[in-house]
Chains A and B, each alone.
Chain A
């Protein structure tokens, strides 16, 4: 199993989607898994950036507790 597929599995990609990826020839499976993983990272970064923008409007002293309250 490739690194990308293992990572997706660890992150909880549903079994049906994993099965589809693994049904492909090895090189294609790796390419598709890498694309899904890249999308996940891009979206993570985008949401993180938007959240930081949101937190920036909270007065400094409250930022940390608000962040904890909102995002755990």
Chain B
């Protein structure tokens, strides 16, 4: 199961209070659709008791905050308190939060309905958010923390990230983020030591599927910085990442990461011994063809040494020649020209033959578009 599907189904099973894995039959459903379903059901469940929450919130406003806090912890409990808090004016809820013990407040946050608590969480002072976040971290409440990240003030987020030294927690929070565009902000706030700890946790806790999957949501600068750190982890780790990319069809994510690295690290990764294995390269080419990530793949070809280029060409011209037609249709012409221009003289003839047999019409269109390109002169003359 794809790691992001697993995360989404875990969120849904948590909402429905069903056992982890009990909703695995939903694997294969569209992720966005699953998330919309979960959010709709969450709002529906909240709406069933919203009227009661509103009435209790009305009463609570008439009682001193100290007494309300005492009632919340001793009588109401965290579930009801969460509903009431969502219906209180933000300033009143903040005064109340300041009087509640951290562990009760953390449990209350677990039960907050996201769509109803957004403005409350956004208005919560940094010191309270940071305190509660620490308690949630201790409780392993990564799903709840991910909800926090999406709505709290940047200064509060900074206060939280400054104290997180648990790389595994950081990966899990990132994985559960509803809005992955917040990933840049979240990871950008981490120090270099924290970023390295996150990548180390990926190795130690077998979280590379999550990290690779999340990589596609990062901006190029951050992706490059993190990518360089990954490349520095050495061949054993990199070989493991290749295995993960193969098992989870995450080649495109990996190619994007390599693409953003500096040249020295790119060379180290694309010339890993494991990439000479036919089965590995076949898996890579097959994913590239099905996902149309030719541009990411082709721009790295010139970095391959001869020992790696030959097996890559073997796959393209002998094992999966149909992929050539796909590449000629979907890759940017400049990347195709770079690739063809980089072919060793000894491989020109077999490439021409493969094109003729499997991608003749696509080649004709490509060659016409690039009639004056010197990179394909040799191929055109055969």
A50 touches B44 (CB 8 A): no
How many Å lie between the Cα of A44 and that of B49 in the bound state? Answer: 8
Main SS class of interface, B = helix
On chain A, the residues within 8 Å of B83 by CB distance are 47
Other-chain contact of A16, B40, B48, B79 (Cβ < 8 Å): B40
On chain B, the residues within 8 Å of A43 by CB distance are 45, 48-49, 79
Which residues between 10 and 36 of chain B lie within 8 Å of chain A, taking CB atoms? 15-18, 22-23, 25-26, 29, 33, 36
Does B273 sit at the interface, judged by CB under 8 A? no
On chain B, the residues within 8 Å of A36 by CB distance are 16, 41
CB contacts between A and B, total, < 8 Å: 80
- Tell me the A residues contacting B by CB distance below 8 Å: 11-14, 16-17, 20, 24, 28, 31-32, 35-36, 38-40, 42-44, 46-47, 50-51, 53-54, 56-57, 69-72
Does B51 sit at the interface, judged by CB under 8 A? yes
Q: How near does chain A come to B74, taking the closest CB pair, in angstroms?
A: 8
- Tell me the B residues contacting A by CB distance below 8 Å: 15-18, 22-23, 25-26, 29, 33, 36-37, 40-41, 43-45, 47-49, 51-52, 55-56, 59, 71, 75-77, 79-80, 83
On chain A, the residues within 8 Å of B44 by CB distance are 12-14, 17
Other-chain contact of A35, B23, B45, B55, B75 (Cβ < 8 Å): B23
Of B26, B36, B49, most buried by chain A (CB within 10 Å of CB) is B49
B80 touches A39 (CB 8 A): no
How many Å lie between the Cα of A31 and that of B49 in the bound state? Answer: 24
Task: Rank and list the top 6 A-B pairs by shortest CB-CB distance, nearest first.
Answer: A50-B80, A39-B16, A17-B40, A20-B37, A35-B16, A70-B55
On chain A, the residues within 8 Å of B40 by CB distance are 14, 16-17
Other than A50-B79, A51-B80, A69-B55, give 14 A-B pairs with Cβ distance below 8 A: A13-B44, A16-B40, A17-B37, A17-B41, A24-B26, A35-B18, A38-B16, A39-B15, A39-B16, A44-B49, A46-B79, A47-B83, A54-B75, A70-B56
How many Å lie between the Cα of A56 and that of B49 in the bound state? Answer: 19
Of B22, B43, B45, most buried by chain A (CB within 10 Å of CB) is B45
Q: How near does chain A come to B58, taking the closest CB pair, in angstroms?
A: 9
On chain A, the residues within 8 Å of B37 by CB distance are 16-17, 20
Please name the residue on chain A nearest to B55 by beta carbon.
A70
How many Å lie between the Cα of A16 and that of B43 in the bound state? Answer: 12
On chain A, the residues within 8 Å of B71 by CB distance are 54, 57
* Known pairs A28-B26, A53-B77, A70-B56; A40 contacts B45 (CB<8 A): yes
A71 touches B52 (CB 8 A): yes
Please name the residue on chain B nearest to A50 by beta carbon.
B80
